[in-house]
Chains A and B, each alone.
Chain A
Amino acid sequence: MPKELRYVVVLTLIAGGSAGLLALVHDATREPIAASRKARTLQALQAVLPEFDNVPTDERVVVGAADPSAPTDSEANRLPVVFMARKGGQVTGGAVQVIHPRGYGGPVKVLVGLEGDPAGTVRVRGYRFLEHKETPGLGTKALEPPFARQFEGFEVPREPLKVKKDGGTVDAITGATITSRVVAESISEAARLFREHGGRGTPGAGTPGTAPAGQADPGQQDPVPGGGHE
């Protein structure tokens, strides 16, 4: 069946050839991609961390991963991560990546930068949304001054933070209470994880992130790690 054979040959060659070509391109772009990813992580970390001289990406704890210091890609994506910042070997602070499952548009991945000592006072240095689907211009106001300013240097208490509507202290953005809640609760959770895992290099035994202890109201506000997909 020469005609049919020709189909097979042509398609095989085109597919094989294309893939080969792509392999070349992939090879050539692998380095830049890796570099840019890493740079972006570091950039994000730099923006929220106090001064450091270590490589925070190398000192991280993936809370709840099978092997917290060598997690799989997907674990690193889904689970909370604590990055430590040191200067001269001394802990100056840390950045915690948490995933809040109940943003307006779905889960929000928040990177919270903290300053201080896991054992003592912990202050907020800044925060970023790494992945989110909050409404531009509404939910994203949570990253802008009037709202964000109240957290500058804010000393995070041990009890969970709440927005005023929920009976707490945090001023919410008008029309975007949900996102405001995300920020407040993520900061709280980040500080909790930082206190728990900071400085140890290994996760606290028996505290897999799926059932975090010390939650005041688990049904209402637990930024459960891995609680959502994104």
Chain B
Amino acid sequence: MDVQGILVAGGTLGAVGAVAASVLAAASRAFRVDEDPRIGQVTEALPGANCGGCGYPGCSGYAAAVVAGKAAPDLCAPGGAGAVRRIGAILGIAIEEKVRMVAVVRCGGGHQACPTRFHYAGVRNCKAVTLLTEGGSKGCPDACEGLGDCVEACLFDAIHMGPDGLPIVDRERCTACGQCVKACPKGVMVLEPCTARVTVACHTRLAAREVRKVCSAGCISCRQCVKVCPYEALAMKGNLPVFDHSRCVSCGLCIDACKPGTMAARVTPDPAVREQALARQAERKAEEAARKAAASPAPAGDAS
């Protein structure tokens, strides 16, 4: 059989192939749909978590918005710098990178420190408690309820409930998508730059006097942290100290100074930084003393 057989087979299938290809060719003409191919590319560049943190419905929605120029290319927190770079490459634009943020728990009032006002019988959900009674179940109206709405909300499994009923953020996993911030009815979760290793674990609106009544870990406005900071990274705003993150070097001296333990280390401070800070503190003390000493005669101050 042979050549003829081969030709018949080849010819037959070739003909069918030709017909199929022609139909497809015609169809691709007739049914042309124009879509910016970059939308697909951008979608691929995104992590595909569909977390909605960007404010668009799903990653592809965001991709369409970015390509259309309706959204900034750096809104995807989970994608991080990598995604921004890739999107920039696809769209041919240069984008500067942002400081990575991370979620932080601004409350130290766990079950022990800040007991509840009543026994709660209901859905184990923070939002539920705050709807039931304004201020929630804790003594402090701003305390963490500890029922884990933030844990539920995190799509990246970055939050776990600690033993004392306070959430603990896994800083490696957190993508700063902000879902926990949205979910927390008590405003406990906030995003801070990941360089900030020390935070104020309290955000109460109560006055110091009332704080003492309801919570042993809350800020009592004693100002010790502000005083001890050698870099002037802390200042009181209302009842609470506030960080200037650009100044804080995370030496942790304020942690030692804080009696209730409101100042909390999210990452253990580096001992070297601490040494430096202590030195700086000593220096400043000396300066202070010197200034005081020099105050009365007032000679030309040696600037340093």
Query: Which residues of B are found within 8 Å of A4, using beta-carbon distances?
Result: 22, 25-26, 28-29
In whole angstroms, what is the CA distance A5 to B24 when docked? 11
Which stretch from B1-9, B86-94, B151-159 is at the chain A interface? B1-9
For residue B207, CB closer than 8 A to chain A, the reply is no
In whole angstroms, what is the CA distance A19 to B15 when docked? 11
Query: Which residues of B are found within 8 Å of A27, using beta-carbon distances?
Result: 1-2, 5
For residue B48, CB closer than 8 A to chain A, the reply is no
For residue A16, CB closer than 8 A to chain B, the reply is yes
Known: A20-B9, A27-B5. A8 touches B22 (CB 8 A): yes
How far in angstroms is the closest Cβ of chain B from A137? Answer: 43
For residue B13, CB closer than 8 A to chain A, the reply is yes
Query: Which residues of B are found within 8 Å of A12, using beta-carbon distances?
Result: 14-15, 17-18, 21
Interface of A is mostly: helix
For residue B40, CB closer than 8 A to chain A, the reply is no
Query: Which residues of A are found within 8 Å of B28, using beta-carbon distances?
Result: 4, 7
Interface of B is mostly: helix
How many A-B Cβ pairs are below 8 Å?
A: 63
A14, closest chain B residue (CB): B17
Number of chain A residues whose Cβ lies closer than 8 Å to a Cβ of chain B: 21
For residue B57, CB closer than 8 A to chain A, the reply is no
Known: A11-B17, A15-B17, A16-B17. A23 touches B10 (CB 8 A): yes
Query: Which residues of B are found within 8 Å of A23, using beta-carbon distances?
Result: 1, 5-6, 8-10
In whole angstroms, what is the CA distance A19 to B28 when docked? 26
In whole angstroms, what is the CA distance A19 to B13 when docked? 6
In whole angstroms, what is the CA distance A14 to B20 when docked? 12
For residue B55, CB closer than 8 A to chain A, the reply is no
Query: Which residues of B are found within 8 Å of A11, using beta-carbon distances?
Result: 17-18, 20-21
List residues of chain A with CB under 8 Å of any chain B CB: 1, 4-5, 7-8, 10-20, 22-24, 26-27
Would you list 15 pairs from A and B whose C-beta atoms are within 8 A, ordered by A residue?
Answer: A4-B29, A7-B22, A8-B18, A8-B25, A11-B17, A11-B18, A15-B17, A17-B10, A19-B10, A20-B7, A20-B9, A20-B10, A22-B9, A23-B6, A26-B9
Q: Which 9 A-B pairs have the closest CB atoms?
A: A16-B14, A15-B17, A19-B13, A4-B25, A20-B10, A11-B21, A23-B9, A16-B10, A8-B21
- Given pairs A4-B28, A23-B10, 9 additional interface contacts (CB within 8 A): A11-B21, A15-B14, A15-B18, A16-B13, A16-B17, A19-B12, A20-B10, A23-B1, A23-B9
